[in-house]
Structure 1
Amino acid sequence: MDASFKLEDFCASIENIVAISNSLMDGWTLHKKEGVENGKYITKKYSTSLTTSDANDIVVTFEYHIAYHLSYGVPVLCFRVWKQDGSLLSIEEYWALNENLKGSSMYDTLTQLDHPVLCQPFLTLHPCRTQEIIQPFLQHSKNPVISWLSVVGPFVDLTLPDQYLKLC
Structure 2
Amino acid sequence: MSEMTWKDFLSQAQEFLKISEQLGDGWVLHEKDANEPNTFLKYSHKIKCQESKDSDFTLINVEYHIVYSVSYQVPMLFFQAHRSDGSLLDLEATWRVFMPDTASKDLYQMLTQTEHPVLFRPFMALHPCRTAEVLDQFGQPSANRVLTFISLYGPHVKLQLANAYGLSK
TM-score (normalised: structure 2): 0.90
- RMSD, aligned α-carbons: 1.9
Aligned equivalent of 1:165:
166
Alignment of 1:87-166 (within 5 A): 87-99=87-99, 101-103=101-103, 105-136=106-137, 139-166=140-167
Distance in 1 (alpha carbons) for counterparts of 2:4 and 2:89: 32
| Pair 1:138–1:100, CA change in 2 (3 A) | farther
Residue 2 of structure 2 contacts residue 135 of structure 2 at CA under 8 Å; is this kept in 1? no
Aligned length: 167
Distance in 2 (alpha carbons) for counterparts of 1:22 and 1:124: 25
Aligned equivalent of 1:73:
73
Aligned equivalent of 2:49:
50
Distance in 1 (alpha carbons) for counterparts of 2:20 and 2:82: 23
Matched, 1:15 2:14: yes
| Pair 1:100–1:93, CA change in 2 (3 A) | closer
**Superposed displacement of residue 135, structure 1:** 2.4
Which has a greater percent of helix? 1
Distance in 2 (alpha carbons) for counterparts of 1:29 and 1:116: 18
**Superposed displacement of residue 27, structure 1:** 0.7
Distance in 2 (alpha carbons) for counterparts of 1:5 and 1:135: 12
Residue 66 of structure 2 contacts residue 76 of structure 2 at CA under 8 Å; is this kept in 1? yes
Higher relative contact order (CA 8 A, sep 6+): 2
Greater shift, 92-101 or 113-122, is seen at 92-101
**Superposed displacement of residue 141, structure 1:** 1.4
Structure 1: stretches of 5+ with no match in the other structure: none
Distance in 2 (alpha carbons) for counterparts of 1:159 and 1:148: 12
Structure 2: stretches of 5+ with no match in the other structure: none
Distance in 1 (alpha carbons) for counterparts of 2:120 and 2:138: 28
